[in-house]
Structure 1
Amino acid sequence: MPAKSGASSSSMHTTSSFASSWISSSPSRQSPSRPSPSRNGPRTTPSRDFTRRSTLDMDLLDSPAHKMILELSQMMIQSTQEFNERLDHATAEDAKLHQQQLAKAAAEHERVRNGASMECERILLEQELEKRRKEEEQRKELQRLQQERARKEAEARQQEWETKRREEEAARQAAEHQKRLQEADDRVRAQREAEELARRQKMEQDTADRNAREAAVAAAAAKQAEARTAQAPTQLLQKPPPSVAPAPVTNQVTSQPVSADVENLHTKYLDLHKRMKEFWKPFKAECAVKGNPIKGAVGDMRRELRKAMGQITVKREDTRNVIRKIRDIITATRNAGGPTIDIRPFFATQSIPNLSNEADAQYPCILLYAYICFVKFAIKQFEQEAANEDGRIIAELGAIVASLMIDPNFVWNNVPMTDLLLAKFHRVCPILFGIRGNMETKEGQVRLGMLPVGGEAPAVNVYNQRMLGLAAGYAALSLRVVEKPAIPASEYWRALAFLCNTPSASLYGGHFMVIKGLLKDYAKKFITMYGRAGRAMILRATVTLPARAPANVVSTANLVSVLPDSWKMQGLVLQ
């Protein structure tokens, strides 16, 4: 290497100079006894002096001191060479490291540049997609406005025709009503006359019967007096007959199978749902007629109620505000007045108190309509919130619904309005109540709650999400530690029992989505209320039931079987 050559030359030069200096500084060369041309005059024998100097140089080269100097010089040369080699090696290593760092920096720069380029492309793509989305939304909005305008025009024509028809119908009904009133008056008059005649005849018959009984009693008393005079003065004491205790009342086991009871109860609620629909649709159409005194109140109630239901958050203070706002809306609706209706047909299983007056069964139509709208909005909200992983919104919504369904300010004769809510649940989520069906048929799909949504054919993913949200809402309504729950916790237990007892052949994906909705966020509360029995029920639902799921629903069943692992991370261990 060039560095080594330079180092060697320098070392050799240094050594030669050192040797020459040492020789030049020798005492023998600097002795004052040596003749000098300046002292002794000009040299007379130059050849002899040269010979003597040569001899002296040879002696010095052969001396031990000179050898030592050479060895020392060689050692210094070698040391210098080693030092230079180490220095060259270190320099080469530094250069190599520097090159590596430069290469690494270049690679990092290239990576950052590529990332920036990709991010730029992504942003441009997002902007393009956003632009297309906005254009599509504008197109759809324009189309919607056109359809809305056409619909309103059609509705206006329809309403005009309906108004004319209704006026004609009202005139006809008024005439018929007057005729019926006259006929009713005639019937009442005739009935009163008949009742008066029957009453007089009954009084006459009662008088005759009473006289006959009095005569018989008098005759019997006379006979007893005669018998006592002939009887001995001493009488035997008689012991009273032993009393017979009434037989204890026992619970009778019905001969009807459980499935029949389940079907009968389900049918009752479906009939109630049908009556609700037959009530609110004509009532809504009637209130929409121009000039109806409660038209504004009904429209405002529906809009404000939907708006309030959309303001629910996970904060308890917000929940209280929403409850207060909905109470104000329903109170304002009730105060709007309007017609009344017999409320008794709108209960399925509630105990109806005996009424002394039929007028006590009347309930404001607008208040019943408000409750039905509230139930519809709540069910829709449960379905939509299923897409949110945070189940606290459904829990707060359940608290709001449960509070308002039993509000003493709006119930009838202390009878809660929960049957309206349960009727809707029986319609949209029959699996909660032990209903079974065959998903391969359209009738079976309807029996299991797979209904069209928004006029579109039912899809499996939409159906599963609906079942998840509805089940979570049912859990939020029933697992409440309050004095008078809207739905008792026993109904939650009953729903889980129905699911766990479902035969494998009747299990579908909807069953496991319902189980997930019931248990995902409510297992701890269920165990708190039922203890070991609740823990055992959860194990059956999350371990035993998924293990016997049919092959075509294993993927959905796995969503339930992994729940214990997620609970374990939260500190809840089932076994």
Structure 2
Amino acid sequence: MPIPPPRTAHHAHSSPLPRLATKMPARSGTSSSSMNTTSSFSSSFMDGSPSRQSPSRRIMHTPRGSIVRDPYDSPSRQIAIEFNLKLNVSDRNFNEQLDQADAVRAKKHERDLAIAQEEHMKVFRGAELEVQRILLEEEQARRRREEEQKREIERLQREKAQEEADAQRRALEARQREEEAAHRAAEHRRQLQETEARLKAQQEQQAAAERQAKEKEEADRKAQDAAHAAEKAKLQQAVSSPAPRPAPAAAPTATPTSAPPTASASAPATTAHAEQVHAKYLELHARMKEFRVAFANQHKQKSSPLKGPVGDTRRNIRLRLGQINTDRKDSVAAIKKLREDSFNVALSTPGPTIDIRPFLISQDIPRLANEAEAQYPAFLLYMWICFEKFVLKQFEKEAASTDGRTIQEIGLIAASLLADQRYMWKGIPLTDILVAKLHRICPILFGIRGTMNTMPGRARLGWLPIDKSEPNEEQYGQRMRGLGAGYAALSLRSFNAKAPAIPMSEYWRAVVSICNTPAEHLWPGHFAILYGLVRDYHKKFLSFYGAQARGVLRRATYDLPARAPPRCKDAAGPVSVLPLGWKKEGISLD
């Protein structure tokens, strides 16, 4: 802080002096010379510096008490001298105050400098500590980098050793896999050869059975013709001659009929046999329809005590089946609700009964003690007929979805209810109710052949009205896909301690019967059903039948589309590309 220059008495007090001197009154008797002297003294005093020209300096040598008097002495001069003395004292005091202020400012300045120096030292020490900290961090970072590099080198060495060990292991496993693959390929070729030989034998057996059936029919026809001719000759001889002659022995006209056979994988049905079984199931379907319409009409009347339960249970079945999704918990809950709200109600509600034997086709009827044992609750039979209609209709609707799990859940529900002992008759499930409806709307599943060039031929292949209107190609294909998938969901089942309602061999029979269909009898419906049968069920088929199923799937997806006629190329395309998707799942048919 700059220190201002010291002020002098001249600067501080030069201005008041002339005013005092000019205002002093002149004494009486004072000569002009003394006045002039006083004026000149005052003038010289005013013009000079107070410190050098002050009158006090000129009279300081004269003692105050001296009797010697300055001839120029006068009261005004004395006042001026005293005033100058006071000014000197004031100047001295002022200068001392300035010196003291300068000393105070110097001390403050030194104190500020000391504080600044101390702050500077603090900053300097902090900078030194920061430098040391940075150096320490750099040293630690360097050590960490060295340790990380060391660890990385060790890791790379371990990885390299592990890779070498893995490479050796993979090479060993590859050799083992090659050996196993070669072994499996040889085993697969052997199984394929056996399967092809078995299928060829089945085809030959089927062809032989067809020839035998034709020969038998021809022999029966000839025998009947011979019998008619012999009878006619006998009548003519009886008319012409009264003496009778022995008639020639006639060949047997018919063979004893046996119980309706069931198609299975071990004994594939011939075409004639399939037609006979198909006709019996169509007759059963007609009886079912007649019974259903009559029962519904009878219990629509207000006077019927079953009017409410019949309508409620039918609506409940439709509601529950329409709510099925891919969640297994929902399916279990739906099965429980169907049992409680529909089948148990039909079983426990008092009502009429009916002879159940005409509604059973595939099972042998046990010996009964009386006719009462053949009775079955008519209400429960009506529930079964409604149930199979709704189930198959739901199969058709769900076929439009790319996710086939809903159809699987519906099949699980139907198979579980069909396998329930409470709703059977003497341990026989009412599966024929469902199969009869399938024979009606999807005959291709059972080896029935026809042509799409005529209306009767179309009806034989399942070209039937959908929702009371004529279907188109897309609707027909969707129905066939859904029914094929539903049939697979019903038959490819295994329950603990319970036999499935539809044997697993029926699935084999359905797939093989389509694969064995001659090219001239193949139509788009065959490939639509085959697509539904195998798309979502190849894994189960392979798990149940192993290598034999692999051979059948190869024939179904490779051989059959390859020999499809031009009219089936579009429908055969989706079947032929199924193995490509299965390869992504790790399943190869090669």
Which TM-score band (shorter chain)?
Answer: 0.5 to 0.7
Shift of 1:542: 0.4
1:476 match: 489
1:415 match: 428
> Matches of residues 395-434 of structure 1 in structure 2 within 5 Å?
395-434=408-447
Distance 1:335 1:409 in 2: 11
Residue 268 (str. 1) matches residue 287 (str. 2): no
Shift of 1:547: 0.4
> Matches of residues 189-200 of structure 1 in structure 2 within 5 Å?
none
Letter aligned with residue 297 of structure 2: A
Shift of 1:368: 0.4
CA deviation vs aligned residue, 1:409-445 (integer Å, no higher than 9, x gap): 1111111110101101111111110000011111111
CA distance 1:293–1:257, shift in 2 (3 Å): closer
1:291 match: 303
CA deviation vs aligned residue, 1:315-337 (integer Å, no higher than 9, x gap): 11111101101111211122221
Shift of 1:257: 8.4
Q: Is the 8 A contact 1:406 1:417 kept in 2?
A: no
2:384 match: 371
Structure 2 counterpart SS, 1:409: helix
Which of 478, 490, 494 aligns to 2:509? It is 494
Q: Is the 8 A contact 1:343 1:362 kept in 2?
A: yes
Structure 1 counterpart SS, 2:379: helix
> Matches of residues 134-173 of structure 1 in structure 2 within 5 Å?
none
Percent identity over the alignment is 52
TM-score scaled by structure 1? 0.55
Distance 1:455 1:349 in 2: 30
Residue 549 (str. 1) matches residue 570 (str. 2): no
Distance 1:352 1:404 in 2: 21
2:217 match: none
Distance 1:532 1:300 in 2: 48
Residue 384 (str. 1) matches residue 397 (str. 2): yes
Shift of 1:568: 1.1
Q: Gaps spanning 5+ residues in structure 1: where?
A: 1-255
Which of 459, 462, 465 aligns to 1:446? It is 459
Which of 552, 563, 566 aligns to 2:581? It is 566
Residue 535 (str. 1) matches residue 520 (str. 2): no
Distance 1:529 1:281 in 2: 41
Shift of 1:541: 0.4
Letter aligned with residue 303 of structure 2: G
2:237 match: none
1:21 match: none
Distance 2:490 2:348 in 1: 28
Shift of 1:540: 0.3
Two-structure CA RMSD over aligned residues (Å): 1.2
CA deviation vs aligned residue, 1:508-551 (integer Å, no higher than 9, x gap): 11000011000000011101111111000000000000001111
CA deviation vs aligned residue, 1:198-229 (integer Å, no higher than 9, x gap): xxxxxxxxxxxxxxxxxxxxxxxxxxxxxxxx
CA deviation vs aligned residue, 1:381-408 (integer Å, no higher than 9, x gap): 0010000111111011101001111211
Letter aligned with residue 324 of structure 2: I
TM-score scaled by structure 2? 0.54
Distance 1:322 1:257 in 2: 37
Letter aligned with residue 460 of structure 1: E
CA deviation vs aligned residue, 1:150-181 (integer Å, no higher than 9, x gap): xxxxxxxxxxxxxxxxxxxxxxxxxxxxxxxx
Structure 2 counterpart SS, 1:492: helix
Q: Is the 8 A contact 1:435 1:447 kept in 2?
A: yes
> Matches of residues 55-454 of structure 1 in structure 2 within 5 Å?
258-328=270-340, 329-454=342-467
Distance 1:497 1:453 in 2: 28
Distance 1:522 1:561 in 2: 16
Q: Gaps spanning 5+ residues in structure 2: where?
A: 1-267
Distance 1:257 1:373 in 2: 30
